[in-house]
A and B are shown apart, each in its own frame.
Chain A
């Protein structure tokens, strides 16, 4: 039996990557292949497209490409994912950050905004809201719209509530939302100091100087060479002694960057930029 009948071959995936780069200018060539392949297969299944049909619509249908882009980038996120990370931020990083006159935070690959608002809640709990500002960026304009709204389903909030309860923060996550029927809207005071905009980690450059960059569970989709290029971007975007947070299962593997960052928390992958 042919197992690959419902799945594209590595060669076909390469062809698609090439095509998308040429026609739409998005470069997926340094994405990890197993995950990318899984996403493409999923789109073909959802849209009931064979490989050749997929190629055809990708070339001819611009609207389809937008949908494709939304599906191909993973937008699954949570508030307070890995509660121990937020605990570590609170005890090891916030005291240091509080000594800066202004705290600019960049949440790279922010998807629908959950991480941005989690950080906003953390800053508020530390009394740092008046001097902090959080930028959320993503390549996907649709999720950014969601992020700006800050409205989440009650079902989601319930699952975030458990995470919150493990962070050691006071009260409950619902203290930060206004509930209406099945929707929960983040309080305005938490939205004030946030800005969401499009930024492509692969092709866009430094746009500000930050005291903290959080980019968690984004590197998992990139091959190590690309990870290194983005580390360079982060390094250049951080102020001296600024902090970089990666996902709990992502590490700095490059020897060059191991020397440029000090490990603040090994388990939660919190780093601090060395020198200037």
Chain B
């Protein structure tokens, strides 16, 4: 597991209700020379003018950017999916956005990005699914697992909302089910 995390070029972090704090903590721990690209998909309300961008920019060591259409995907950078769009990855190495219907009432949908990432990155990525109150992300994580990615699900006992991790576990999308502390430990290696 450690070796595969080390070899990953891409880290995908997905979550919904109850996941933000943990994802923020994890990203805060990364050095500016992680040599990976971090892509965060968290469900966010469109008209909720959050301070997320400022929080990240002020507190993390890696570069941070809310994704704009056709942004080049750079290493040592943390990207967050913008609200009210699905985030897609093009094989030429840039993001594209999509406003089509919500998936599981969610836009951004974790499934959409994860499924797309599975086709593009295959075994070059690690994906972690955290707390959330719906089943978005489970199918996408399964696709990632089947295409060779390292897939991890937060232990539902540690998750504020267990529906999302449980959905992934129930369809066998999780290669590893880890406690929150174990996730932090792995990511710090």
Contact = CB atoms under 8 A, between A and B. Distances in A.
Interface of A: 1, 3-4, 7, 10, 32-35, 38-39, 74, 76-77, 81-83, 162-163, 166, 217, 219-221, 224, 227, 247, 249-251, 253
Contacts of A247: 69
Interface stretch (B27-35, B36-44, B88-96, B162-170): B88-96
Nearest to A269: B68
Interface residues of B, number: 25
A249 B69 contact: yes
B47 A1 contact: no
Contacts of B89: 34
Contacts of A1: 146
Interface stretch (B1-9, B97-105, B181-189): B97-105
Given A249-B67, A250-B68, A74 B98 contact: yes
B155 interface: no
Interface stretch (B11-19, B54-62, B112-120, B128-136): B112-120
Interface in B49-89: 67-70, 82, 84-85, 88-89
Given A34-B96, A35-B88, A39-B100, A219 B69 contact: yes
Given A76-B99, A220-B85, A247-B69, 7 more contacts: A32-B90, A33-B90, A34-B89, A34-B91, A34-B98, A38-B98, A162-B47
A7 B115 CA distance: 10
A227 B96 CA distance: 13
A32 B99 contact: no
A166 B45 CA distance: 14
Contact of A249 (B68, B116, B119, B147): B68
Contacts of B91: 10, 33-34
Contacts of A250: 68-69
11 contacts: A3-B119, A33-B91, A34-B96, A38-B98, A38-B112, A77-B99, A220-B69, A220-B98, A220-B99, A249-B97, A250-B68
B143 interface: yes
A34 B98 CA distance: 9
Contacts of B112: 38
B136 to A, nearest CB: 15
A54 B121 CA distance: 27
Contacts of B96: 32, 34-35, 220-221
B94 to A, nearest CB: 9
Contact of B84 (A3, A32, A35, A81): A81
B48 to A, nearest CB: 10
A39 B98 CA distance: 11
Contacts of A33: 90-91
B69 to A, nearest CB: 5
A74 B99 contact: yes
Contacts of B100: 35, 38-39, 74, 76
Contacts of B84: 81-82
A216 B143 CA distance: 32
Nearest to A9: B119
Contact of A3 (B69, B97, B118): B118
Nearest to B84: A81
A79 to B, nearest CB: 13
A38 B88 contact: yes
B143 A3 contact: yes
Nearest to B113: A34
A34 B69 CA distance: 13
Nearest to A224: B70
Nearest to B148: A3
A162 B96 CA distance: 27
Nearest to B101: A76
Given A7-B119, A162-B47, A253-B70, A34 B101 contact: no
